[in-house]
Amino acid sequence: MASQMVLFFVSLGSYQVGVRGGIVKFSRLLMMFVTRGVGFVSGHG
């Protein structure tokens, strides 16, 4: 029973870390697209 709880908490922690990493990657991608889009618009506008 105790080992199941430990396994549950470990999987929950790794899941949260994965989600956080995914959010960071997504926000970086979004910032890259935004800066490129702004540069494109200002360069051609």
Predicted TM-score of the model (pTM): 0.56
What pLDDT is recorded for position 27?
96
Distance CA 35, CA 43 (A): 12
Kindly state the percentage of the chain with pLDDT values over 70: 98
pLDDT digits 0-9 by tens, 28-45: 999 999 999 998 888 876
Amino acid at residue number 24:
V
Amino acid at residue number 19:
V
What pLDDT is recorded for position 45?
61
